[in-house]
Amino acid sequence: MPRLLLPLLTLTIAALAAMVLSVSYGSVPVPVADILAVLQGQGSELQRTLIMDLRLPRTLSAFATGGLLAVAGALMQVLLRNPLADPYVLGLSGGAAVGALTMMLLGLGGLFISSAAFAGALLATLLVFGLAHGMGSWTPSRLLLTGVVVAAGWGALITLMLALAPAQRLPGMLYWLMGDLSYARTPAPALLVLLLTCLLVIPLGRSLNVLARGPMQAAALGVSVQPLEWTVYVMASLLTAVAVTTAGSIGFVGLVVPHMLRLVLGNDQRLILPACALAGGTLLVLADTLARTLIAPEQLPVGVITALLGVPTFLYLLSRSR
Amino acid sequence: MRPMLLVLVVMLVPAMAQASQRCAVDDTGREVCLAAPAQRIATLSPGATELTWAAGAGEQVVAIVAYSDYPPQAQQATSVGSHTRIDLERLMSLAPDLVVAWVTGNPAEQVETLRSLGLPVFSIEPREFEDVASVIERLAYLAGTEVPGNAEANRFRTGMAALADEYAHRDPVRVFYQVWNEPLMTINDQHLIGKVVTLCGGDNVFGELPRLVPRIDREVVIAANPEAILAGGMGEENRHWLTYWQQFPGLLATRQDNLFFIPPSLIQRPTPRMLEGTRLFCEKLDRARARR
């Protein structure tokens, strides 16, 4: 058990450090002493607004979103037994994007955008599930092919919407597609879902370990494969839907964080899944801090930073692993 | 006598208390009320900055966004990002007492955040010439600069009316207005620039298209065979979008040499500078009439 606990402890410390960093840095400097005062309910009104209304909710949203995406990515990779799988491979972000962009085209904001994104994500999930399930056998490769084709369809719709959109709405739509935490409203739902996921996923870890070796072996070892695969699919879809609803379709976290952790920690799902929640959250918190401050007052979309941070780290780990 | 005086005082006291409060309805129909004239204004689009300066409240502007380049002294205010992504922290730290936002240009969720933090947000979206004048008057009222603001609004209103009187009924000129080069974009009759075309006695060849800013094919321009082509360009003096049309001598506009440049900043922003842009536009169309 200490073998499992030590990495998780390290990652927890890293996550807390990242969150402290994120709350301490912004485009307006606030001294550490004042931040502590604000957290104790003191400090000036402006500082309270900066820390409690702007930075803290955004930091928590970033952590929750990153964690959800990384766990969803890890689950998809196990389910599809494909290293290229990420939370968006089955077209879920495409469905969410069509929902969100429709609301933007109609000039509606805030709650409309996030509800439409959530509805779109669920629709995409049901569509892929129904089509892959429709006739004959339900296999991961069938699911993958259906998902990829449906995703291409969503992609075409998105391009069509961008082409028809009035010029002044384009930047907002592109930012949403690149993923951006300034859309984040309240962090509570995403954090809650992340916490529940971690509690649900840990007892599944053993069966997932067996499933990762292939459905035949899993069945031979007494795992009821199909119900497990459905559970994993529904779960990964819900996590992704919540993440996309919070902050648009942030790329890269869901693909690369699980791989990074496997390179370092080995492929034990009992460890990888909670580790993904922590490491994904940490990466996104750091990336968002940079996105807010790097060229302030101009703001970068966080998706750019996750890729710029993640690509060299991942390549380094990959080259070291052999 | 005395009871009368008392009644008068009782009636006046609430009226005086309200007199210090200033309320105006913004372009989304929301009423924005200020306890005192705005002293620290944040303008979240280049157009909003320009209109606030036109309202005589330029000195009170403390926050602007990228490309707020007119009037030049407006750039001395602190930048809080771009109109598509606002640095909310920096904006809050400037403690604005009025935020002038752009309905379709600013991200809705960021504007909602500002409202939820208790800032008075006045959202604007001028779609008619009259809206430009009215936004200036409403901003001037909120900022307590009615004298210069109303004068500027009236200068714009009467100036546009005078141009309409002079040009709107002259012989129609079939016009193609090019907003952008690649992709090729124009405007329909509902667009503010489309209304400039009509005001100058022009007939927009793509005026009937359903979309406000249609993206079109070069072929349909040649097929429509406009008598005059007017364009902006990237930058204030770049004519090369127009030289492209010179390779088609069959085009009426090319044959008559009616390829005219209009500096984009004079006509593409809904601000009082549009008066100057419209005058230029009308003069170019008149030159096309003279060449018949």
Which residues lie across from B185 on neighbouring strands?
B180, B215
Contact A202, A270 (CB under 8 A): yes
| B231 against A217, higher pLDDT | B231
User: What integer is the mean pLDDT of A49-61?
Assistant: 90
Which chain B residues have a beta carbon less than 8 Å from that of A22? none
In the numeric block, which tokens belong to residue A21? 């960093």
To the nearest whole Å, the CA of B255 is away from the closest chain A CA by 32
User: What integer is the mean pLDDT of A41-54?
Assistant: 86
- The confidence score (pLDDT) of residue B15 equals 47
Dihedral of CA A108/A114/A117/A119: which sign?
A: negative
Cβ neighbours of A115 (radius 10 Å): 15
Q: Render the burial of B89-99: b for 16+ CB within 10 Å, e for the rest.
A: bbbbbbebbbb
* Backbone φ and ψ of B37, nearest 5°: -55, 140
Domains detected in chain B: 19-157 (3.40.50.1980), 168-290 (3.40.50.1980)
Does pLDDT of A55 surpass 80? yes
Average pLDDT, chain A: 87
* CB spacing of B92 vs A54 below 8 angstroms: yes
The helix, strand and coil proportions of chain B, stated in percent and rounded to the nearest 5, come to 45, 15, 35
The count of CB pairs under 8 A between chains A and B is 85
> What is the distance between the alpha carbons of residues B153 and A159, in angstroms, rounded to a whole number?
41
> What is the distance between the alpha carbons of residues A297 and B81, in angstroms, rounded to a whole number?
4
To the nearest whole Å, the CA of A202 is away from the closest chain B CA by 36
- The confidence score (pLDDT) of residue B14 equals 46
* CB spacing of B93 vs A28 below 8 angstroms: yes
User: What integer is the mean pLDDT of A300-305?
Assistant: 87
**Residue of B89, B102, B184, B193 to mutate, testing the A interface (most A Cβ within 10 Å of its Cβ):** B89
Q: Render the burial of A29-64: b for 16+ CB within 10 Å, e for the rest.
A: ebeeebbebbeeeebeeebbbbbebbbbbbbbbbbb
pLDDT digit string, tens, across residues A248-300: 889 889 999 999 899 889 888 889 999 999 999 999 999 999 998 888 888 88
* CB spacing of A27 vs B87 below 8 angstroms: yes
Query: Which band of pLDDT confidence, cut at 50, 70 and 90, is reported for residue A47?
Result: confident
Which chain B residues have a beta carbon less than 8 Å from that of A27? 87, 89-90
Location of structure tokens 């689950």: A75
pLDDT digit string, tens, across residues A101-152: 999 888 777 788 888 989 999 999 889 888 887 666 667 788 888 889 999 9
CA B169 to mean position of chain CA atoms = 25
To the nearest whole Å, the CA of A88 is away from the closest chain B CA by 24
The contacts of residue B268 (CB under 8 Å, 6+ apart) are: B179, B193, B232
**Residue of B85, B123, B215 to mutate, testing the A interface (most A Cβ within 10 Å of its Cβ):** B85
> Which residue in B66, B85, B185 is closest to A182 by CB distance?
B85
Which residues lie across from A156 on neighbouring strands?
none
> Which residue in B81, B86, B108 is closest to A110 by CB distance?
B108
pTM recorded for the entire structure: 0.84
Does pLDDT of A185 surpass 90? no
* CB spacing of B92 vs A49 below 8 angstroms: yes
Location of structure tokens 């949203």: A61
User: What integer is the mean pLDDT of B149-158?
Assistant: 97
- The confidence score (pLDDT) of residue A318 equals 82
Question: At CA B44, angle to CA B38 and CA B47, rounded to 5?
Answer: 95
**Residue of B109, B119, B127 to mutate, testing the A interface (most A Cβ within 10 Å of its Cβ):** B109
> What is the distance between the alpha carbons of residues B182 and A161, in angstroms, rounded to a whole number?
18
Does pLDDT of B17 surpass 50? no
User: What integer is the mean pLDDT of B78-91?
Assistant: 92
- The confidence score (pLDDT) of residue B271 equals 95
**Residue of B87, B94, B115 to mutate, testing the A interface (most A Cβ within 10 Å of its Cβ):** B87
- The confidence score (pLDDT) of residue B161 equals 97
Sheet-wide strand order for B78-79: B78-79, B61-64, B41-43, B98-102, B121-124
Is B111 at the interface with chain A, CB within 8 A? yes
A40-44, A107-111, A233-237, A294-298, range with the lowest pLDDT = A107-111
Contact A306, A97 (CB under 8 A): no
Percent of the residues in chain B that have a pLDDT greater than 70, as a whole number: 92
In the numeric block, which tokens belong to residue A56? 């803290």
Can you tell me whether residue B52 is helix, strand or coil?
helix
Contact B230, B176 (CB under 8 A): yes
> What is the distance between the alpha carbons of residues A87 and A158, in angstroms, rounded to a whole number?
18
Query: Which band of pLDDT confidence, cut at 50, 70 and 90, is reported for residue A27?
Result: confident
Q: What is the 3-state secondary structure (H, E, C) of chain A?
A: CHHHHHHHHHHHHHHHHHHHHHHHCCCCCCCHHHHHHHHCCCCCHHHHHHHHHHHHHHHHHHHHHHHHHHHHHHHHHHHHCCCCCCCCCCCHHHHHHHHHHHHHHCCCCCHHHHHHHHHHHHHHHHHHHHHHHHCCCCCHHHHHHHHHHHHHHHHHHHHHHHHHCCHHHHHHHHHHHHCCHHHCCCCHHHHHHHHHHHHHHHHHHHHHHHHHCCHHHHHHCCCCHHHHHHHHHHHHHHHHHHHHHHHCCCCCHHHHHHHHHHHHHCCCHHHHHHHHHHHHHHHHHHHHHHHHHCCCCCCCCHHHHHHHHHHHHHHHHHHHCC
Sheet-wide strand order for B228-231: B202-204, B173-178, B228-231, B259-261
In the numeric block, which tokens belong to residue B9? 């005082």
Domains detected in chain A: 2-320 (1.10.3470.10)
- The confidence score (pLDDT) of residue B236 equals 65
Which chain B residues have a beta carbon less than 8 Å from that of A31? none
